Structure 1
Amino acid sequence: MSGRVGDLSPKQVDILAEFREQVEDILPDLPAQHDHYLLRWLRARSFNVQKAEAMLRKHLEFRKHMKADTIISDWRPPEVIERYVSGGMCGYDLEGSPIWYDVIGPLDPKGLMLSCTKQDFMRTKIRDTEMLRGECQKQTEKLGVNVEAITLIYDCEGLGLKHLWKPALEAYGEILTMFEENYPEGLKRVFLIKTPKIFPMAYNLVKHFLSEETRHKIIILGSNWQEVLLKHIDPEQLPVAYGGTLTDPDGDPRCRTMINYGGTVPRSYYVQDNVVKVQYDHSVTISRGSALTLEYDITTPSSVLRWQFASDGADIGFGVFMRSQEGGGAQKVGDMLQVLPSERYNAHMVPEDRSLTCPEPGTYVLRFDNTYSVLQSKKISYTVNVLLPDGQIQSPRSIRGDGRLE
């Protein structure tokens, strides 16, 4: 049994009913509530109800944190991403699934990562994925059949050593992990075309981020790749450059109005070449395997907590938490309320400057995390301000921001 609607064993039917009952409290907050959607999470966890429930509840927190429901309308990627990140949606396969193209060769990973934050890349990919989810929903309504996954064409022509730059691979790995954890069963098939000799090395560096199910959907095509694509895609839905008959209105065979082909990022976009030298209020070295916590007492609802920081020579973990108990006694981070999940920031390449509106009073904890580093200490420079709703800066005397090394 495939574990899909219409092809369920009696046991799977019972498991689906149990799963629906277990997650009934969060169903209204999910992007879909039908059986097709719930079965995606069950298949991703081999019909283990407890694991599927944990995965789905974690995804809901992810959606809230990333504002996934409104990311298409409320957030726009930086200009450098819009202009120089290659790829795009173009056409539908024979079963009505949207087709997404990733064009690797023209991509300039180093130039992009020196021009914007890793978190901007993550948001961009979430935005693209939410757009594709919406396209699948439109196709479902249009065709009267369930469309829940996309066809991905990975154009590997030009793949080279520049794409194997370590910070870029690490960022790509985080994006793949995000997909696996939050958009299970979103890929129907992945066609890899025009793979160069370096491809096996590149694939070995990232394949451990992929689930076994995803790996089984990857199809590496040879010199007859155009012929194979046409078995799955109508010529009218496939660009001329990929063996079909589709062009842009102006006759462009590469369909550039739908597929961005990227290119080398001009140095004018590099943040470190353009940023005004920031004078940070504090500098501290965090030992390997250690962390730095900064506590700020927020007394007025809707105050804004703003932080700026840079690291020297390597990335640094950072997250925001809220103490869940009164008093000044020690409390482990794991026992605190997570406000901004801890992530690793490439602040040695692009300094961070972000803010958070605090909905309620309390003690907010900023944590710089170097616990994952077993060899390297990290020097960070930072400035933190608390802005009251009336625009005034909160008195430093009411802020316990001197820091504590763990």
Structure 2
Amino acid sequence: MSGKVGDLSALQATALQTFKENVKDLLKPSHDDYYLLRWLRARNFDLKKSEEMLRNHASWRKKTGADTVLESFVIPEVVSKYLTGGHCGYDKQGNPIWIDPFGRIDIKGILRSVKKSDVIKTQVHRLERLQVEQIQQTENFGHKVEEVIVIYDLEYLGMKHLWKPGVDMFCEIIDMFEWHYPETLKLVFVINAPRFFPIAYNIVKPFLSEATANKVRIYGTSNFSSALLQYIDADQLPKAYGGTRTDPPGDPRCSALVCQGGDVPKDFYSKVSINSLDMDKYTAVTIGRGSSLQVDLIVTEPDSAIRWQFITEGYDLGFGVYKRTKDSRQKAHAMEEVIPSQRVNSHIFPEDGSVIIQDPGTYVVRFDNTYSWTRSKKIYYIIEMLEPDTEDEFELANESPTKDC
């Protein structure tokens, strides 16, 4: 049995009645059996876990002001203009479609312009707006509409999108969705996935429930249109994705409905200081004058990525990535250059980046202060090695879709 209204086993029906009694102090007129069953399904009808989840959710709604976010929260201008995504059409059962051209987002520019909490609250605003759409669609269709289809378009996704603060925020949003909007996802279509996508997916996957992971469909740069049209009528799907829909100006991407992102103008940027960062996550080291700091990483899996972020106090610093050609410690000139060393203004904005590593071996992230004979430099850094997801086969060739995940 699916655990949905009209398809309950005797045990599930009994659990629903018990659950309803246990949480009656939380219930509102809009909290019908469809709503209650979402929380039960999310915890496999475990009454204790389902109640704990719902009570935590009720507390979260008070803390975040989710009940009034549509009326009280004003989305910051830069977020409104550059945070990708938008509601565009409905599937064949009346469920809203959310399209996110995530490959076009400048998450670094956004987070250098507003607080992370502003972005997260915007996502709460979006989710609450979609629930209003579901209520309206329930009235229009005459049957319960409580799910959403999400399309992630990863065209132009690059290594810059592995920027740690942005990835951490995205994972936090996924976690929020799993805990506070359970069983509202019908399917996720990931399209135009690049070849390094397994690395990104391996970061995100731990935040997905098994039920959510089973709803993800991943495609390369072709053959996704036919899959989308199985669930979405052509007049509800943007022309850019194989449908016939355009927005009023005739844009095949429906940009009037779906924010396409783009580079955030630096006029929006706020000055970043060390005091504004979560320093518990950083390693702090003072590099002496005329000295350097080398951080070794052993890469065992091809197509892994090395990711870094650092900021310095007061002055610039040299930075480069190398591969050792011997097992013993080597000077920079004796190693193979991966990213040539150059001076960066890490005292103005945090410096960050990543690089894909094809060949296993020992790699060195090197912070260079050898050019400065008068000043020591204090640096705060995070360095990580990210391995690809090796559990799933990803077929991202242009000629064929990937397998479902």
Is this a same-fold pair by TM over 0.5? yes
Change (3 A) 1:26 1:158: same
Distance in 2 (alpha carbons) for counterparts of 1:14 and 1:37:
16
Deviation (angstroms), 1:250: 2.1
* 1:173 corresponding residue in structure 2: 171
Q: Which residue of 2 aligns with 1:400?
A: none
Partner of 2:265: 266
Matching residue of 1:228: 227
Correspondence for 2:26: 26
Shift of 1:287: 12
Deviations 1:248-286 (A, max 9, x none): 12222111110110100111111107x9xx9x9xxxx99
TM-score (normalizing by structure 1): 0.67
Shift of 1:55: 0.5
Identical aligned pairs, as a percentage? 48
Taking only aligned residues, the RMSD between alpha carbons, in angstroms, comes to: 2.7
Distance 2:152 2:41 in 1: 25
Alpha-carbon distance in 1 for matches of 2:173, 2:246: 31
Structure 1 pair 231–53 and aligned structure 2 pair: CA distance change class (3 A): same
* Aligned counterparts of 1:80 and 1:123: Cα–Cα separation in 2: 14
Which residue in the other structure is 1:5 paired with? 5
The equivalent position to 2:104 in structure 1, one of 103, 106, 113, is: 106
Equivalent residue, structure 2, for 1:383: none
Partner of 2:334: none
Q: Secondary structure at the match of 1:76?
A: coil
1:113–1:349 CA contact under 8 A, matched in 2: no
Distance (Å, rounded) in 1 between the aligned partners of 2:134 and 2:22: 26
Structure 1 residue ranges without an equivalent (≥5): 289-311, 315-347, 351-375, 378-406
Match of 1:68 in 2: 66
Matched, 1:146 2:144: yes
Equivalent-residue separation in structure 2 for 1:177 and 1:104 (angstroms): 18
Q: Tell me the secondary structure at the aligned position of residue 271 of structure 2.
A: helix
> How many angstroms does 1:349 deviate by?
7.6
- The structure with higher relative contact order (CA 8 Å, sep 6+) is 2
Q: Which secondary structure state, in structure 1, belongs to the residue aligned with residue 100 of structure 2?
A: strand
Helix, strand or coil: the match of 1:228? helix
Cα contact 1:12–1:47 (8 A) shared by 2: yes
How far, CA to CA, are the matches of 1:155 and 1:72 in structure 2? 26
Q: Distance in 2 between the 1:49 and 1:13 partners?
A: 12
1:62 & 1:193 partners in 2: Cα distance? 33
- TM-superposed CA distance for 1:313, in Å, is 5.6
Match of 2:50 in 1: 52
Which AA in structure 2 matches 1:181? W
Work out the CA distance in 2 between the residues paired with 1:35 and 1:104: 35
Q: Which runs of 5+ in 2 are unaligned?
A: 283-309, 313-347, 351-379, 382-405
Partners of 1:90 and 1:107 in 2: CA distance = 18
Contact 1:109 1:162 in 2 (8 A): no
Aligned ranges 1:138-287 → 2 under 5 Å = 138-222=136-220, 223-272=222-271
CA displacement 1:28-86 (0-9 Å, x = unmatched): 2x8x3110000000000010111101100110111111111111111111111001111
Matched letter for residue 235 of structure 1 = A
Q: In the alignment, residue 93 of structure 2 is paired with which amino acid?
A: E
| Structure 2 CA distance for aligned equivalents of residues 229 and 236 of structure 1 | 12
Secondary structure in 2 matching 1:122: helix
Detail structure 1 runs of 4+ shifted over 4 Å in the superposition: 285-288
1:119 maps to what in 2? 117
Structure 1 counterpart SS, 2:200: helix
With structure 2 as the length reference, what TM-score do the two structures score?
0.67
Structure 1 residue aligned with 2:75: 77
| SS class of match (1:89) | strand
